[in-house]
Chains A and B, each alone.
Chain A
């Protein structure tokens, strides 16, 4: 509990002060996702996200956080339920699917930059191929985005020449180039060296400040506290608890949530038999 209080006291200037939430933009109703092996990764999940809202998803590894994000942009098929994003249902219609994957940006734990292209080319690619922009138009947007993530001087660098933090910032810029309505972050800082985590979190906080709608899977509780409007705690493919970020950290209702927060903030606590060894890996 002490660590939680520490974070509460450590509050910086509020990032979300000037952001007004809009109407619902993501609607997830009662979705179920079973993997081919028979594993039920999402077990009747419902979720609503409003425009400009920042939702942080936390939970032990294997709880279905990645699967939830992947379903949201059509990377995984759902068995049942309904996903609607900005009025477009994610159904069989290929047009709908294309709209959704184009307008929902995703940032991966492993960056997934295209290694044979420079930072500039990575960010240009979809603008030219999908948005049909001219090279010149695309490059203008790209340079503005590189400036926004602080990498103007790395336009001509290949991914292998960049640090993890720099690569992830390029990946964020690449997703932003499509002018997405929603950005999904799947443990965007988990693969990074500790010294470069901060620079990526700063970029993400900047987006939150500018009113980007974001669903963020992370173990960075500082980010959740500072930039998140709402925190969702998942376990075993279910949403166990969700609350505004203030309430969530000051007054977690579920025993499991308290355990999890205790572990993630203080390291593994000896004691309760059900404390999973998984929690250690997430840090």
Chain B
């Protein structure tokens, strides 16, 4: 049932779903009661009026980003860099897995299985404390490397699915023209595959933004870590974490909607 048909039959819809509406109302009431009782029970006083300064501050130089939005910028920076690297790792691993070479397949398979069967937090610590010092990689570099290796393993599955979905006639045409395997990937297969897998690939971006919060554990001042600092400085635990969650949501929700919409369009286009 689409949004449009719902709107066209509002009264009928209300009648048919009155129970859902009732439950929804009850649920909202319960949440409000829970928060309110928390406030009274713990003697908590909402200080929302103090929150804006942690988002933006006005100084004599004009507008300056507060710590939370500065954290968001760092989150963007980590996620963006990791996304680029994750695409490179993912595509390479996918091509290795589809290669004729046994060694290449083994390397890719080992990478993917290792990443998928160990916790991301462990990987971050491993890279920060073990690999990082060896290669002179700081906290930021470690976080980017860990996140991109992690998301790259998942992206490789997406790339692989996209690549094998390309009709084998495309390979055969390229073969009969004398194109090398690399050129066939570069010019023929990947450009077509990417169009098909754009929705799940954007999904990797959403996951990356969320997972980048784990970088807070190795002293990166991204959004979650800034939330940590502000909340322990001010004791405005509720306000800060509501705000932080809202900021994540404001970034990822539109992206997710975009992914869903893109997926629908692609399906109808084919």
Spell out A's residues near B (CB within 8 Å). Answer: 73-75, 98, 101-102, 104-106, 108, 110, 112-116, 125-126, 129-130, 171, 174-175, 178
Contacts and interface: CB of A to CB of B under 8 A. Distances in A.
B188 interface: yes
A104 B169 CA distance: 17
B270 to A, nearest CB: 11
A238 to B, nearest CB: 25
Contact of A114 (B175, B176, B178, B188): B188
A26 to B, nearest CB: 15
A102 B191 contact: no
B170 A125 contact: no
Given A98-B178, A130-B178, A130-B179, A108 B173 contact: yes
B179 A126 contact: yes
Contacts of A174: 173, 177
Nearest to A113: B173
B264 interface: no
Interface string B157-179: 00000000001011011011111
Nearest to B177: A126
Contacts of A105: 176
Closest 6 CB pairs of A and B: A102-B178, A126-B177, A112-B173, A106-B176, A112-B169, A130-B178
A125 B177 contact: yes
Contacts of A75: 172, 175-176
Contacts of B265: none
A178 B178 contact: yes
A130 B177 contact: yes
Contacts of A115: 192
Interface of B is mostly: helix
14 contacts: A75-B172, A75-B175, A75-B176, A98-B178, A106-B172, A110-B169, A114-B170, A114-B192, A116-B195, A125-B177, A126-B177, A129-B183, A171-B173, A178-B178
Contacts of B183: 129-130
Given A125-B187, A129-B183, A129-B187, A175 B176 contact: yes
Contacts of A125: 177, 179, 187-188
B113 to A, nearest CB: 27
A108 B169 CA distance: 8
A129 B188 CA distance: 12
Interface string B175-203: 11111100100011001100100000000
A113 B192 CA distance: 12
A238 B211 CA distance: 61
B247 to A, nearest CB: 38
B179 A114 contact: no
Contact of B176 (A104, A113, A129): A104
A171 B187 CA distance: 17
A108 B167 CA distance: 13
A114 B173 contact: yes
A105 B177 CA distance: 7
Contacts of A130: 177-180, 183
Nearest to A174: B177
B162 to A, nearest CB: 13
Nearest to A129: B183
Nearest to A73: B176
B191 A116 contact: yes
Contact of A101 (B178, B188, B192): B178
Nearest to A103: B178
Residue from A75, A104, A108, A115 having most chain B Cβ neighbours under 10 A: A115
B176 to A, nearest CB: 4
A129 B177 CA distance: 10
Contacts of A112: 167, 169-170, 172-173
A112 B175 CA distance: 11
A120 B173 CA distance: 16
Contacts of B170: 112, 114
A113 B172 CA distance: 10
B268 to A, nearest CB: 15
A160 to B, nearest CB: 11
Nearest to B189: A114
Contacts of B178: 98, 101-102, 126, 130, 178
A175 B172 contact: no
Contacts of B167: 112
A112 to B, nearest CB: 4
A102 B177 CA distance: 5
Contacts of A110: 169
B2 to A, nearest CB: 28
Nearest to B187: A125
B182 to A, nearest CB: 10
A104 B175 CA distance: 10
Nearest to A184: B176
